[in-house]
Amino acid sequence: MVWSGDKCRVILADEPGFDGWCRVIWSDHVRELSDLAGPDRDHFMAVVAAVERTLIALLQPVKMNIAALGTAAPHLHFHVIPRFETDANFPAPVWTERRHTTSRLDRIALAERLRSAFADAVI
């Protein structure tokens, strides 16, 4: 866990070949984004945007990807994924076959940097 608030939390995913892939997870059980009332949706997306902004500042990715799928695990969460030319399958969607599973950054050290950055971020 790299950030935790009253209504949602942020984890650094363990996705070999992708550095900085985060998940923003809503705490209460809801299936879909549209199940949230407007103010909750605004808050949730503000957290998603803050995570995106923080990852951009820290890692300078080529592009960000955002997705809420949950077809297998129907509990509201957003993937926030920095994309790099060196990642596992750039520029294809991350869910296609991975050409490699080599991460360039140490995940434990990156989690620590994210914790510090999120502590300073306005969420």
Across the beta sheet with 3-4, the strand order is 3-4, 8-12, 22-26, 77-83
> Can you tell me which of 9, 23, 41, 107 binds a copy of itself, judged by CB under 8 A?
41
Contact between 91 and a copy of itself by CB under 8 A: the answer reads yes
Contact between 52 and a copy of itself by CB under 8 A: the answer reads yes
Q: How far apart are CA 121 and CA 56, in angstroms?
A: 13
Nearer to a copy of itself, 42 or 106 (CB): 42
At 8, which amino acid appears?
Answer: C
Going by the DSSP 8-state scheme, the letter that residue 36 receives in this structure is: S
> Can you tell me which of 28, 32, 106, 112 binds a copy of itself, judged by CB under 8 A?
32
Give me 59's structure tokens.
């890692």
Contact between 108 and a copy of itself by CB under 8 A: the answer reads no
The residues, ordered by sequence, that sit 6+ positions from 41 with a Cβ below 8 Å of its Cβ are 33, 34
Instruction: Indicate the length of the chain as a whole number.
Output: 123
Contact between 68 and a copy of itself by CB under 8 A: the answer reads yes
For binding to a copy of itself (CB under 8 A), which residues are involved? Answer: 31-34, 36, 38, 41-42, 45-46, 48-50, 52-53, 56, 62-72, 74, 83, 90-93, 95-96
